[in-house]
Structure 1
Amino acid sequence: MNAIDIVKEQVKAYEKGIAHAVVTIVHSDGSTPRTNGKMLVYSNGATKGTIGGGNVECIATSDALQCIREGCNRLKQYDMTSEASETGMTCGGNISVMIEVFTVRPVLVMCGAGHIGEAVLRLASFVGFDTILVDNREEKDIAEKIVLADRFVKVHDYEEDLKNVEIPDGAHYVIATQGHSFDGDALVAVLTKKYSYVGMIGSSLKIKALFEKMEEKGISKEELNKVYTPIGLDLGGESPEEIAVSIIAEILMIKNGRTGTHWMGKEK
């Protein structure tokens, strides 16, 4: 696998939302398995390409995974001159590799291009999300909302069409369409995907009635209990912008594994 092949595989990983690292031999001295080479290491430990095989490649893979977890690049040197070295290899030389990490931005999928959807898209982009807008209206009617998203998906039927939309695993979904039935259709589709968060707007009464209908469709209470609804943290406020802040705050709390409590009186 040459350098161009590695780049092509990187593009595929990016499109699927998979963090990865590229390990490149930048210097070799003495007798080594390879004097040049590249290896792609995915966040799940899988690899493509090679920097020479053997124990040195296993160690480099482990180091690359550590770099992915820490989100940092690193220059590493591997000694292959004795069995007592880190690699345990006796080729007679050493190599230096550059580990470059490519993280992916989190993805937020906004179902609904209303006033709240517009505010959520603006704020989500500001705090670092790639955004996808999903709506069933004509593009000319929501053009000012579409330009706020990194990607727009036009659906005719939320349930059937959204199921077939290719969205990276671990995306965060916000459901706030222009109608209760559309919200329910979108939720049915979202629950078939691998998500990190799904939240739906609505009053407690609306949600109770909607969930009863969804249970009749065969969706379990266990699955419905994973939905954050009514959506957002209890911050008060009624404007679309205030509601968007509460939604994004809740998503960040979940994404970062925090509790949402204030810092006053606590030590960081």
Structure 2
Amino acid sequence: MVLATVVQTQGSVPREVGAKMLIGSDGFTFGTIGGGAGEAKVIRQAEQVLETGQKQMVIVDLTGAAHRDTQGICGGMMQVWLERWTGAAAQTLAQQILMRLETGQTATLVIPFESNQSPYLVDTDVGVLSGSAINDENTFIGTLQPPPTLLIVGAGHVGMQLAKIADMIGFQVMVQDDRSEWANSQHYPQATKIFAELTTALTDLATHPQLFAALVTRGYQYDLAALTGLLQRPIPCRYIGMIGSKKRVRQVLQTVEQNGISRSQLQSIYAPIGLDIGALTPEEIAVSIAAELIWVQRGGSGRPLSEKSD
């Protein structure tokens, strides 16, 4: 495989520093560094790296300048580092990265630009977000974050559709519901864990650093139990959203507050859940919730891009 890593950007570009893509000798690719002509150029150069083993930096010019060979008109430029990963050492390093990420730990990867040095892991994080990086003329250092986990409480129609979309956008999906006829691997093939008991789920995820929770339950009492437990975690959830009418939401929040949860904690709840896109069907509601998850995770404005000024 060749690992393509965006190591520097300037101006408007489709992907951030740290974005990665794998290119295999059989034409297989995984991930993207932005698509279009720029990515096609990177893939062509990666084929050379696969053959020769010689690392190289590729400049993707997206300025649209008439006097240059540009690969797009986004307005900026990207530097993409290409390096072949092969053999037992690369396999071991890949396994070490996976082991850390799968257990909820970060993995800080150092990529030397020197021809006689190979990538390696260090124990110090360089940032808190995926793609956080430090680079100079000789080295690129980037911290990979484990995938955020979405706990779906309530395994009904909305939950099933939300699991599909959440998995697609990079969340590790877990589900909790006491009804085995709903909460099962047939309905939730994306789920890495399915919990029958809420207490088990809360205990298992008590110290998870990146927990998002979507409460799409079948009733008031289930919302109340889940919300109370999630707000008492030692590590606050990145996101808690709760489905329901404004009346149901108000009743749940009032009861939780009466049970000793502070009002400031309740202000962090996204309820009713999702962005206002006029969603009606379970599929549309799932899209609305997923959009809110991305909004919270990435820090967007939530407004139409057509209203955004340059």
TM (normalized to structure 1)? 0.68
Question: Cα RMSD between the aligned structures?
Answer: 3.5
| 1:152 and 2:193 matched | yes
Kindly tell me: are residues 231 and 12 of structure 1, through their superposed partners in 2, closer, same or farther at Cα, counting changes over 3 Å?
A: same
Q: Which residue of 1 aligns with 2:265?
A: 223
Q: 8 Å contact 1:177–1:183 — kept in the other structure?
A: yes
Kindly tell me: are residues 69 and 155 of structure 1, through their superposed partners in 2, closer, same or farther at Cα, counting changes over 3 Å?
A: closer
Match of 2:276 among 212, 221, 234: 234
Give SS of 2:152's match. strand
Deviation at 1:73, TM superposition (A): 9.2
Q: Which residue of 2 aligns with 1:175?
A: 215
What are the Cα deviations for residues 187-214 of structure 1, in whole angstroms up to 9, with x where unaligned?
1121124311110011111111112221
Q: Look at both structures and tell me which one has the larger radius of gyration over its CA atoms.
A: 1
Q: 8 Å contact 2:163–2:188 — kept in the other structure?
A: no
Q: Which residue of 2 aligns with 1:53?
A: none
Give SS of 1:233's match. coil
Q: 8 Å contact 1:124–1:248 — kept in the other structure?
A: yes
Is 160-169 or 6-15 further displaced after alignment?
Answer: 6-15
More helix by share: 1
Give SS of 2:244's match. coil
Number of corresponding residues:
219
Q: Which residue of 1 aligns with 2:245?
A: 203
Q: Give the residue type in structure 2 aligned to 1:165.
A: D
Q: Give the residue type in structure 2 aligned to 1:154.
A: F
> What is the alpha-carbon distance in structure 1 between the residues aligned to residue 93 and residue 183 of structure 2?
42
Q: 8 Å contact 2:176–2:183 — kept in the other structure?
A: no
Q: Give the residue type in structure 2 aligned to 1:240.
A: P
Deviation at 1:183, TM superposition (A): 1.5
> What is the alpha-carbon distance in structure 2 between the residues aligned to residue 69 and residue 148 of structure 1?
22
Kindly tell me: are residues 187 and 12 of structure 1, through their superposed partners in 2, closer, same or farther at Cα, counting changes over 3 Å?
A: farther
Deviation at 1:120, TM superposition (A): 0.6
Give SS of 1:264's match. helix
Deviation at 1:113, TM superposition (A): 0.9
| 1:41 and 2:123 matched | yes
> What is the alpha-carbon distance in structure 2 between the residues aligned to residue 246 and residue 4 of structure 1?
39
Kindly tell me: are residues 42 and 13 of structure 1, through their superposed partners in 2, closer, same or farther at Cα, counting changes over 3 Å?
A: farther
Deviation at 1:266, TM superposition (A): 3.2
Q: 8 Å contact 2:223–2:252 — kept in the other structure?
A: no
> What is the alpha-carbon distance in structure 1 between the residues aligned to residue 119 and residue 306 of structure 2?
52
Q: Give the residue type in structure 1 aligned to 2:203.
A: N
Q: 8 Å contact 1:162–1:186 — kept in the other structure?
A: no
Match of 1:189 among 229, 232, 239: 229
Kindly tell me: are residues 9 and 190 of structure 1, through their superposed partners in 2, closer, same or farther at Cα, counting changes over 3 Å?
A: farther
Q: 8 Å contact 2:175–2:183 — kept in the other structure?
A: no
Moved segments of 4+, more than 4 Å: 3-12, 24-29, 35-39, 66-69, 71-77, 97-101
> What is the alpha-carbon distance in structure 2 between the residues aligned to residue 103 and residue 138 of structure 1?
32
> What is the alpha-carbon distance in structure 1 between the residues aligned to residue 220 and residue 102 of structure 2?
32
Deviation at 1:220, TM superposition (A): 1.1
> What is the alpha-carbon distance in structure 2 between the residues aligned to residue 263 and residue 235 of structure 1?
14
Q: Which residue of 2 aligns with 1:164?
A: 203
Say which structure, 1 or 2, has more relative contact order (CA 8 Å, 6+ apart): 1
The 5 Å alignment of 1:85-164 reads: 99=141, 101-138=143-180, 142-149=184-191, 151-156=192-197, 158=198, 160-164=199-203
Q: Give the residue type in structure 1 aligned to 2:267.
A: N
TM (normalized to structure 2)? 0.59
Give SS of 2:204's match. coil
Deviation at 1:109, TM superposition (A): 1.4
> What is the alpha-carbon distance in structure 2 between the residues aligned to residue 207 and residue 100 of structure 1?
41
Deviation at 1:178, TM superposition (A): 2.2
Kindly tell me: are residues 42 and 194 of structure 1, through their superposed partners in 2, closer, same or farther at Cα, counting changes over 3 Å?
A: farther
